[in-house]
Amino acid sequence: MDISNSDRAKVLIQALPYIQKYAGQTIVVKYGGNAMISPELKEAVMSDIVLMRLVGINVVLVHGGGPEISDMLKKINKESKFINGLRVTDQETIDIVQMVLAGKVNKSLTQLMENHGGKAIGLCGLDGRMIMAEKKITSEDLGYVGEIVEVNTKVITDATSQGYIPIIATVAGGYKGEVYNINADIAAAQIAAKLGALKLILMTDIRGLLKDKNDEKTLIPVVNVSEVPMLKKEGIISGGMIPKIDCCVEAVRQGVKRTHIIDGRIAHSILIEMFSDEGIGTMFY
């Protein structure tokens, strides 16, 4: 990248209207996929978020950690059974989920954020009863797979009001002291809604919503949530995209102004989304 200091200054100045627009607002970023694996992409995400905090944005980072959970289960020779894409979660499995998400992934991200100059605190749904869940009722027993019942954001806003970037692992507590594995996208959406966030950004491993899923040039940049049922009918929203987009729709319905599906494989995709008019990926409003 060979950019003169003068052009650098211009770039900063062109960011000004975006900074003015976002100052004091809350942005929830659901972190996941490749952006959580590649060390370079991880560094880029950390930098993006530290910068956003410094220019006055209350950023909240929510993450899952599926691959790390699978690795750990494999290590203890635990075979996983899936029903409709959901892992059957017995006591031993939920212990591993909690350990990996709240202990390994979460605290390592916290350390990394601190090392990039952010003031970070690693939380999970058990801190301050942040996320309370109940057993998900399905035809077959899934064990400790939960559905969110309550989101208490006080522990999050207590942290942001003191200047911290809260990093949140999505395990939830139950009313009898049990622990539940919950969907991280849904948790992020509900946290964003409860916080009155301006934006919810879901980092994925795709370019966004594509008309032709094999052609990135057919990206649909903007979708009104009212168009979603039609897009589903047309098969444009299908497969793994359905739950993600349902999250986006739900968050918008509950008051989040804009939700975004962005491509976490592109370095600094968050900043590009935040600080350019054209953005990146698909925006739902």
Neighbours of 20 (CB within 10 A): 10
Q: Both tokens of residue 203?
A: 């980092």
Q: What are phi and psi of 109, to 5 degrees?
A: -65, -40
Contacts to a second copy from residues 22-51, by CB under 8 A: 23, 44, 47-48, 50-51
Stretch in the footprint of a second copy (CB under 8 A) among 82-90, 126-134, 211-219, 254-262: 126-134
Q: By CB under 8 A, tell whether 262 contacts a second copy.
A: no
Q: Which of 37, 86, 155, 220 lies at the binding interface for a second copy (CB under 8 A)?
A: 155
Query: Which amino acid, residue 215?
Result: D
CB of 174: closest distance to a second copy in angstroms?
A: 9
End-to-end CA distance of the chain: 34
Q: By CB under 8 A, tell whether 266 contacts a second copy.
A: yes
Residues binding a second copy: number (CB under 8 A): 73
Question: To 10 degrees, what angle do helices 241-253 and 184-195 make?
Answer: 10
Q: By CB under 8 A, tell whether 7 contacts a second copy.
A: yes
Nearer to a second copy, 84 or 162 (CB): 162
Q: By CB under 8 A, tell whether 171 contacts a second copy.
A: yes
Provide the residue count of the chain.
Answer: 285
Q: Both tokens of residue 1?
A: 């990248």
CB of 61: closest distance to a second copy in angstroms?
A: 14
Q: What are phi and psi of 196, to 5 degrees?
A: 65, 40
CB of 212: closest distance to a second copy in angstroms?
A: 23
Nearer to a second copy, 25 or 108 (CB): 108
Neighbours of 279 (CB within 10 A): 18
Q: By CB under 8 A, tell whether 14 contacts a second copy.
A: yes
In this structure, are residues 12 and 182 in contact, taking their beta carbons and an 8 Å threshold? no
Contacts to a second copy from residues 48-107, by CB under 8 A: 48, 50-51, 54-56, 72, 75-76, 95, 98-104, 106-107
User: Tell me, what DSSP letter sits at residue 129?
Assistant: G
Q: Which of 129, 135, 213, 257 lies at the binding interface for a second copy (CB under 8 A)?
A: 129
Q: Environment class of residue 112 by beta-carbon count within 10 Å: exposed (0-12), middle (13-18) or buried (19+)?
A: middle
Nearer to a second copy, 123 or 249 (CB): 123
